[in-house]
């Protein structure tokens, strides 16, 4: 039985409030015996740990390293293996494009063709973002009857193309051959349902290459990461929650929007995110607060910077507690060990604080304590029913 169908009749709508504080990439590997989280001076989390349940989240299945999309979908209770959001849609969300059901999102790279029509550089010499904006403007002259075309700058050589019309499909081969010295591929449909989409994208690529032929670097486009946007069941529909997402990076607001959260952009520090949390406290009963820098410092391979960023996250914990949430969960969407300079598969430490906690004395909030914690080790997708239970939002199952 589908978990959402199983949960639905058990949902109890209440005003109790849940805060899911996601420190992106929380969880690391030891250096001199201690991880970033264990090295950081985190008096607030450490004190809270002995009054909370500690445990671990496996983001997907053991051994699988997720991107931000599956990492967060798991936390939100959506099986990331079942609910796969394609790159094209994630990229559109990441630039805050208002994507609609049925839209086809495509990841687009500017690239360089040599005189013979072969790809010389798949990234067009990593042109600066301003160039991307200028060149994309030229492509806006492309028109195709009955089709809405949206062109969105991401960063440097990366852009997003969104087509809007009926009958689009992502079941297509890539225009990007992933190697240089060959011409771009002609996009082919993998099924008859994708013939229209293939024709549209090939026509677009041809026109774009014609328009860009005098550009020194970005004289063609490559395409891959096709995804048709299919709306997910929302937090309200599944959990009866009126949820808010607070994040400084658009991608994470986009992920919140994907599951029906109201989104709040904050341009700045975690302290400002908590300002926002305080402001909207009365209006929602679930709050996803996203802190980016524990991940980005890990990806930079900067152990000490990740430690510092973890301490920043710790500083705001008392302000969250002052709001008296019924449940406060502190965790990550995946681990990002700074000595790996990348996301990883390692279980993510989690702390769940509520009045129904089964706790024990621990030395603090860290990977080792979490591996032996009373919350146990579960998959990320199993978290939401537990948060609902701790918030008294689930009725008993069966007599």
Give the interface with a second copy as residue ranges (CB under 8 A): 1, 3, 6, 10, 29-30, 33, 35, 56, 60-70, 80-82, 84-85, 87, 90-91, 225, 337, 340, 342-347, 356-361, 367-368, 371-374, 376-378, 382-389, 394-399
Q: List all residues 6 or more positions away from 1 whose beta carbon is below 8 Å from its beta carbon.
A: none
Which tokens in the block code for residue 56? Answer: 């671990």
The answer to whether the CB of 384 falls within 8 A of the CB of 10 is no
Closest listed residue to residue 351, CA positions, set 365, 333, 337, 371: 365
3-state SS assignment for residue 222: strand
Q: How far is the CB of 13 from a second copy (least distance, A)?
A: 15
Please state, in angstroms and rounded to a whole number, the distance separating the CA atoms of residues 247 and 270: 9
Nearer to a second copy (CB atom), residue 243 or residue 384: 384
The answer to whether the CB of 294 falls within 8 A of the CB of 338 is no
Please state, in angstroms and rounded to a whole number, the distance separating the CA atoms of residues 322 and 324: 5
Give ∠ CA 260-264-266 in degrees, rounded to 5.
150
Nearer to a second copy (CB atom), residue 173 or residue 269: 173
Q: How far is the CB of 77 from a second copy (least distance, A)?
A: 10
Nearer to a second copy (CB atom), residue 332 or residue 373: 373
Nearer to a second copy (CB atom), residue 28 or residue 184: 28
Please state, in angstroms and rounded to a whole number, the distance separating the CA atoms of residues 394 and 385: 8
Q: How far is the CB of 266 from a second copy (least distance, A)?
A: 23
DSSP letters, 223-237, are EEEEEE--PPPPHHH
Nearer to a second copy (CB atom), residue 62 or residue 117: 62
Q: How far is the CB of 396 from a second copy (least distance, A)?
A: 5
The answer to whether the CB of 49 falls within 8 A of the CB of 233 is no
Q: How far is the CB of 122 from a second copy (least distance, A)?
A: 17
Q: How far is the CB of 344 from a second copy (least distance, A)?
A: 7
Please state, in angstroms and rounded to a whole number, the distance separating the CA atoms of residues 248 and 339: 26
Q: How far is the CB of 367 from a second copy (least distance, A)?
A: 6
Q: How far is the CB of 9 from a second copy (least distance, A)?
A: 11
Nearer to a second copy (CB atom), residue 70 or residue 184: 70
Nearer to a second copy (CB atom), residue 271 or residue 341: 341
3-state SS assignment for residue 393: coil
Nearer to a second copy (CB atom), residue 75 or residue 212: 75
Nearer to a second copy (CB atom), residue 139 or residue 227: 227
- 387 pairs with which residues across the strands? none
Nearer to a second copy (CB atom), residue 274 or residue 351: 351
Q: How far is the CB of 298 from a second copy (least distance, A)?
A: 13
CA 355 from centroid of its chain's CA atoms: 30
Token pair 């002995």 is at which residue? Answer: 50
Q: How far is the CB of 321 from a second copy (least distance, A)?
A: 20
Closest listed residue to residue 312, CA positions, set 277, 362, 273: 273
H or E segment and range at residue 111: strand 104-113
Please state, in angstroms and rounded to a whole number, the distance separating the CA atoms of residues 65 and 49: 26
């Amino acid at each position: 039985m589908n978990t959402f169908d199983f949960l639905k009749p058990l949902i109890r709508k209440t005003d109790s409030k849940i805060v899911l504080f996601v420190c992106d990439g929380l969880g690391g590997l030891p250096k001199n015996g201690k991880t970033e989280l264990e090295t950081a001076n985190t008096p607030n989390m450490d004190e809270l740990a002995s009054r909370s349940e500690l445990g671990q989240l496996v983001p997907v299945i053991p051994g699988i390293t997720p991107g931000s999309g599956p990492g967060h979908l798991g936390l939100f209770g959506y099986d990331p293996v079942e609910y796969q959001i394609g790159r094209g849609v994630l990229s559109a969300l990441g630039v805050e494009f208002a994507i609609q059901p049925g839209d086809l999102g495509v990841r687009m790279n500017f690239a360089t063709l040599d005189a013979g029509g072969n790809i010389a550089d798949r990234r067009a010499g990593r042109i600066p973002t301003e160039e991307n904006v200028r060149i994309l403007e030229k492509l806006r002259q492309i028109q195709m009857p009955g089709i809405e075309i949206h062109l969105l700058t991401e960063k440097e050589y990366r852009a997003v193309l969104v087509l809007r019309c009926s009958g689009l499909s992502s079941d297509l081969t890539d225009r990007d051959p992933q190697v240089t010295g060959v011409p771009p591929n002609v996009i082919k449909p993998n099924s008859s349902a994708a013939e229209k989409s293939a024709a549209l994208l090939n026509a677009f690529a041809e026109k774009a290459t014609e328009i860009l032929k005098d550009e020194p670097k970005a004289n063609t486009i490559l395409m891959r990461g096709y995804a048709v946007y299919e709306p997910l069941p929302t937090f309200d529909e599944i959990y009866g929650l009126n949820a808010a997402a607070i994040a400084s990076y658009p991608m994470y607001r986009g992920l919140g929007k994907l599951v029906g959260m109201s989104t709040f952009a904050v341009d700045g520090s975690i302290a400002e995110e908590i300002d926002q949390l305080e402001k909207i406290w009365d209006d929602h009963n679930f709050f996803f607060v996203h802190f980016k820098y524990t991940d980005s410092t890990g990806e930079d391979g900067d152990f000490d910077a990740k430690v510092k960023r973890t301490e920043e996250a710790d500083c705001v914990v008392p302000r969250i507690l002052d709001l008296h949430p019924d449940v406060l969960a502190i965790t990550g969407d995946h681990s990002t060990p700074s000595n790996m300079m990348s996301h990883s598969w390692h279980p993510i430490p989690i702390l769940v604080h509520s009045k129904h906690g089964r706790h024990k004395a621990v030395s603090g909030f860290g990977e080792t304590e979490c591996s032996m914690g009373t919350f146990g080790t579960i998959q990320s997708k199993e978290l939401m029913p537990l948060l609902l239970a701790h918030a008294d939002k689930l009725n008993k199952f069966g007599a």
